[in-house]
Structure 1
Amino acid sequence: MEVQIIRADMHKDEEKHYVGHTIFKLADHKSEYEITFFSKRGKDWDYSLNFAGEPGNEEEFLKTDTLVEEDDDLFDTLLDAALDTMEEEAKEE
């Protein structure tokens, strides 16, 4: 499925854990979504999916959540968009 990345960011919090966000839109979906990433060491990632802005169609949201869970390429694309915003020094700390 075609994905449009709208905005992304990633940083390390005070405890040196990775925290990031990617706002995106899927083709044929009316709503934009925000996925929040969290990892203690940058290896295993937890995520949370929400609407970006106003709530939208719940059925489309559930389909998107399933797609993110099952499609490794989509997940990696969203995660990489956030990771790519970090400066190299921050990645290596």
Structure 2
Amino acid sequence: MKLNIMDARLTFSKEDGYVGYVHFEAEGHKQAYEMTLQKKNGKEWSYGLFFLNASGDEEQLYQVEELIEESDETFDELVDAAKRTLDES
């Protein structure tokens, strides 16, 4: 499944650690998605996956979630998109 990253942002604070999001579309899916990210105290990234603008087909959401869980490359691509914005600010 091909993903198209539309927007991303990552910030850092001592209190919250790294906090950000990635907005993206998945090929063949009607709704766009938002993946929220957080990494605190050097721990691994935690994330949440949501529909971006409006509710959509939950089965498609589960497909994207499975892709993110099973493919380190896909997960890293999304996290890297957010990381690049931290370098820009």
Q: How does 1:18-57 map to 2 (within 5 A)?
A: 18-41=18-41, 44-57=44-57
Letter in 2 for 1:24: F
- Percent of paired sites with the same residue: 39
Give distance in 2, aligned partners of 1:69 and 1:34. Answer: 15
How many residues are paired up? 89
Identify if the C-alpha distance between structure 1 residues 44 and 13 changes in structure 2 by more than 3 Å, giving closer, same or farther.
Answer: same
How much does 1:16 deviate?
A: 5.0
How much does 1:14 deviate?
A: 5.0
> What is the TM-score with the length of structure 2 in the denominator?
0.90
CA contact (8 A) 1:25 1:31 kept: yes
Identify if the C-alpha distance between structure 1 residues 71 and 37 changes in structure 2 by more than 3 Å, giving closer, same or farther.
Answer: same
The SS at the match of 1:87 is helix
Query: 2:15 aligns to what?
Result: 15
Give distance in 2, aligned partners of 1:42 and 1:26. Answer: 30
CA contact (8 A) 1:37 1:48 kept: yes
How much does 1:44 deviate?
A: 1.2
Give distance in 1, aligned partners of 2:41 and 2:73. Answer: 21
Q: How does 1:48-87 map to 2 (within 5 A)?
A: 48-87=48-87
Letter in 1 for 2:2: E
For structure 1, the residue ranges without an aligned partner over 5 or more in a row are: none
> What is the TM-score with the length of structure 1 in the denominator?
0.87
CA offsets 1:37-90 (integer angstroms, 9 cap, x no match): 1001455100000000101011101111111111111100100000000137x8
